[in-house]
Structures are given as structure tokens and as C-alpha cells.
Structure 1
Amino acid sequence: MTVTKDLTFSIVAYKNYDQIINAVNSINKFTKKYSKEIIIVDNTEQACIKDYSDQINNLENLNDVQLIQNKNNFGFGKANNIALQHAVGQFFVICNPDILLIEDSFSKIIPYMEKNSQIGAVIPKLIDQHHKIELVYRRELTPIDVIIRYIHPFGWFSKRRAYHTMQDMDYSKPFRVPFGQGSFIVVRTPLMKRINGFDERYFMYVEDADLCKRINQVSRLEYYPYTSVIHLWEKGSQKNLKLLKWHMQAMIRYFVKWGLK
């Protein structure tokens, strides 16, 4: 791997160009200290592209953006892997379209990772638009935690859900994360390539749990509390039956691969 930049941002698009423009603008505003490339892998189907031509043109005109159009929806993991194939940054940033940087986070994250070689990846403090920390840091995925996730609106098994989402941890200090939501993860690019990126057998959902597990097998994924990033979390699979179906299929694939606990 030839490193020519500090950061590679990988953003997967699917018709949400205006949202991505906001994300890219925040990246450009708060990463001026570091060289970067922003690789946007577009999963929007070819038949729909013409409906978004103005937004796509606006996106391509932003600084440091490289747009790769798949013409078909290849899924989240495979799209990120396409970005990984082109990555020339020292750090590979998995970045959802609904992410907004609000400070110079990388002036804290990069020196921390350079000082701690055992840390292969970090997740900063992800907060909502009201600056409340989100429950995106989790212990190992188990079938019971999957079930509880979907019955939680009824208020059942709150203690177990709190344990799974690591609410017992001290969020003022770094700690190891077995499973961090893949909305914003900073990974050493050589490590990401060493583990062959995402498992592309997951079309959507749970690929982040699988990735985190493999990172932790050879390195360390850590929560980093000293900088915050806004995540405008939509929780689509809890509202859409088709997305819920994909989520359940991905869960089954995960447990077939890793076994039940």
C-alpha cells in the first residue's frame, strides 16, 4: 500500500445526496490540518440517477471528492470495500451519510492512535443533534439481545439492554468495544486491508458487528471520549418491514458464521 494522504473517508450513497453534501461540507470544514480523500461509492440504481443529476453535480464539485457510481445497489459492505480498494490514506474512515463533524476531531484521534499502536480502530463519542450520547457501543451480539432490541419499546428487559449497550461503562474514559455501530469508525487502513474489509455476504446490517469482531481478534477497537461527532440516527429497520427483513436475515447469517452464545 502506498500512503499518499492522511485520511480516506468512505461514504456509501443511496439517493441521499443532499445529506452527503452536508456531511462532506462538515468534513472539509474540520479536517484542514490533514490531507484527505473523500470516496463516495454510489449504490443508486442507474435508472434513478437522472432524477438526481443536479445533486450529483453539486457533490462532485466539492473539494477532495471522488465519486464512484456502481449503477446497482451492491450493499453497504461491498460498497465500502470498493472504496478500500482505492484508499491511499493512512486511516480509513467508515462514515455514514448522516454524520456531521462539529470540531477538529482528527487532531485528537490521529495522535492518540499513533501513540497507541495496539489500537487498530476507534469510535469517538457519537451524539445526537441534542448532544446526547447515542447507544452505539455494544457487547458481543447474542440472540437474546437481538430479540430484546425489537421488544424494547414495551420496556421489557431494560437491565439486559443496558448491559448490552454498555451503559455501565465510564464514558469519560476510553474502553474496548466488542461491537460498535458502523456509523463512524476510524480504522488503520493496513489493518482494514489485512482483514479484507467487510464480509460482503451481508448486504445490509450486522456487517459492522462482524467487522468489529474481526478487528478485535487481531487488534483493539476502542471508544475514544475526547471528541464528539453528530450522528443523525434514523433507525430505518425499526420502521420499514423490508429493512427489518434484511436485518433479520443478516442476524441469521451472523450467528451461522460465529455460532450462538
Structure 2
Amino acid sequence: MDHGVVSVSVVVFYPDQQLLERTFDSLAEAGAALARGRPGLSIHLYLVDNGGMPEMRSCLDALSQAGIDHTVVSGQGNVGYGLGHNLAIRLASSRYHLVLNPDVDIEPGALLAALTFLDAHPEAGLLTPAIVDDAGRLQYLCRQYPTLLDLFVRGFLPAAAKQAFATRLARYEMRELINERDIIWDPPIVSGCFMLFRTDVLKRLHGFDARYFLYFEDYDLSLRAHEFARVVYAPMVRVLHHGGGASRKGLAHIRMFLASAFKFFNRFGWKWL
């Protein structure tokens, strides 16, 4: 294992080119801050092309100039989100591995802050950051174990109807605990848009469960991660996430969401209300 390398995997399928370029620009800035603060650490990007990757040569050249090496993994077709990341995880020989969405901007000091924290807390095997939206508002993406009702309300009810379930959703989204100041240990489930692992923990977990094509693979991996290490919400690490939910992406995504939910509850146990 190369203790001087941080590996990053990004899986794309017909991505928004502008958002992907922003993600890579932010990775270059965060990498530069990391290199200044921790000389001898380098980043290797695994870009997994599940199909439809736009022309990214100039962007990847800019990453190379910033000292970030890259490997493009392609030719496998659309194998799904989790299996796509697993292709990169198998290749990684790093100390830390970051699972990153192609619509996330990393704040310049975020990687340095994250690795400083992990080096000081060897019990932590998975770190999740403070995640904000385009308006700078905190997104509550740490989760308690879901019930079917929680998922239905959060994913499919219009905003006005959600008001009747506000207390319930606040509990599910851990709103009383999650803020931009306090470190929270062992949130049950964390978001797959930015998961920073100790690579040895991720390898022991064998990465994502490839039975999920899309959705719930991060829920599954989060719950399994607690068996091997502690999970931590570290708000001094900040990222911006531009993502949207399944119901906003049409019928095919709703079908994938429901199929993955079925697999998840079959594995970990059904909770209705």
C-alpha cells in the first residue's frame, strides 16, 4: 500500500460536462492545498467512464499540471454506480480512497482538513463532510436507518405535503445533531457523494455491493462499514453538492430506486413505519 497516495474515483454516465469540469477544478485546488500542507502526498484520480463521457482532455491535462495523475477506466459499458467505483477500488493501492460524485465541488482546504483529522483519529475508517447546496445551505445527508414511510415522504411527496411529516423527517435526517460545528461519531448512514475511506477498510468491505445498480449502494456500504471501523461526520471538511433525487429524474430512476430499496430492506430488515 502506497502511504503517499490518496486515490479518488469518479464514475460518469453521460455527465453534465460543466459540473464535471467544476469538480475536477475543485479537486486540483484541494490537491494543491494538500500538497502545500502535506508535502509528499499525491492524488491519483480514477475516472470511470460508464458511457457518454464528454471530451475532457484539456481538463485532465490541467489536473496533470496540478500534479494529479489519472487513469481512465473505460470499455466496461454501463455497469452501474457501485460496480463502476469497484473497478477503481480494485486498482487503488493508496492509503486513503475518496468516492466522489461528478457533481461535487470540494472546498480548497477540505482534503487537507480531512486527512489531518483521519491521521489524528486512527479509529475512523470513513469520513463524511458538511455538504451544502448551491445556496450554501447545509444538506442533511446523514441518516438514521430508514422506514418505508420515511423514504416515500422524502422522495415522492410534494413540499407542502411533507410539512405534516416534518418531525419524522427531522429525526430520519438527524437534524438535531448535524450542524456546521460539531463532530458526530457513528451516524448510521452517510451520503455516497463524498465518502473518504481508509483504503484498507474499503478493501476489507470489498467496496460496494454490485447488486445495486443505482441508489442505496451508499446506505448498504455505510451500514457495513461500522463492522470494521468508526464512521465520522467532520464538518471542518466542506463540499458543495449539486445533486437531485430520483423522483426529479423520471420514471426509469423511480424504478431503479424501488428495485434497490427492495434489495436493501431484504438484506438489512424491513421497517414500515
Instruction: Report the TM-score when normalising by structure 2.
Output: 0.87
Is 1:5–1:88's contact at 8 Å kept on the other side of the alignment? no
Aligned to 1:23: 23
- Equivalent residue, structure 1, for 2:12: 13
Cα-to-partner distance string for 1:28-82 (whole Å, 9 max, x where unaligned): 11212130101010100xxx56xx4xx1433443422211113410000000000
Q: Does 1:151 align with 2:160?
A: no
Q: Which residue number corresponds to residue 250 of structure 2?
A: 240
Question: Is 2:40 the partner of 1:41?
Answer: no
| Cα deviation code 1:76-95 (max 9, x no counterpart) | 00000001011122111010
Instruction: Indicate whether 1:79 and 2:84 are aligned.
Output: yes
| TM-score using structure 1 length | 0.91
Structure 2 gaps, min length 5: 36-40
Letter in 2 for 1:43: N
2:130 to 106, 122, 125: 125
Of residues 168-177 and 155-164 in structure 1, the stretch that sits farther from structure 2 once superposed is: 168-177
Q: Distance in 2 between matches of 1:97 and 1:75?
A: 14
> Is the Cα–Cα contact under 8 Å of residues 138 and 179 in structure 1 kept in the other structure?
yes
Q: How far, CA to CA, are the matches of 2:135 and 2:125 in structure 1?
A: 30
Please give the per-residue CA displacement for 1:110-167, whole angstroms capped at 9, x wherever unaligned. 1211111111111111111221111211111222211222225322311101100000
Instruction: Report the CA distance between 1:6 and its aligned residue.
Output: 2.7
Work out the CA distance in 2 between the residues paired with 1:209 and 1:19: 24
Matching of residue 91 in structure 1 with residue 90 in structure 2? no
User: C-alpha distance in 2, partners of 1:170/1:248?
Assistant: 27
Worse-matched range after superposition: 82-91 or 200-209? 82-91
Distance 1:57 1:170, change over 3 A: closer
- SS class of match (1:103): coil
Partner Cα separation in structure 1 for residue 148 and residue 6 of structure 2:
36
Query: Which residue identity does 2:233 align to in structure 1?
Result: Y
The one of 75, 78, 89 equivalent to 1:70 is: 75
Aligned partners of 1:43 and 1:110: how far apart in 2? Answer: 29
The 10-residue stretch of structure 1 (18-27 or 58-67) with the greater mean CA deviation from structure 2: 58-67
Which of 133, 138, 160 is the equivalent residue of 2:143?
A: 138
Identity across the alignment (%): 23
Give the secondary structure class of the aligned counterpart of 1:257.
helix
Q: Distance in 2 between matches of 1:59 and 1:73?
A: 23
What amino acid does structure 2 have at the position aligned with 1:7? V
Residue 195 (str. 1) matches residue 205 (str. 2):
yes
Tell me what 1:205 maps to: 215
| Mean CA deviation greater in 91-100 or 228-237 | 228-237
Q: Aligned pair count?
A: 253
> In structure 1, what is the Cα distance between the partners aligned to 2:235 and 2:242?
18
Q: CA 1:56–1:107 in 2, change beyond 3 Å: closer, same or farther?
A: closer
- Cα RMSD over matched residues? 1.7
Question: Which residues of structure 1 form unaligned runs of 5+?
Answer: none
* Equivalent pair of 1:141/1:179 in contact (CA under 8 Å): no
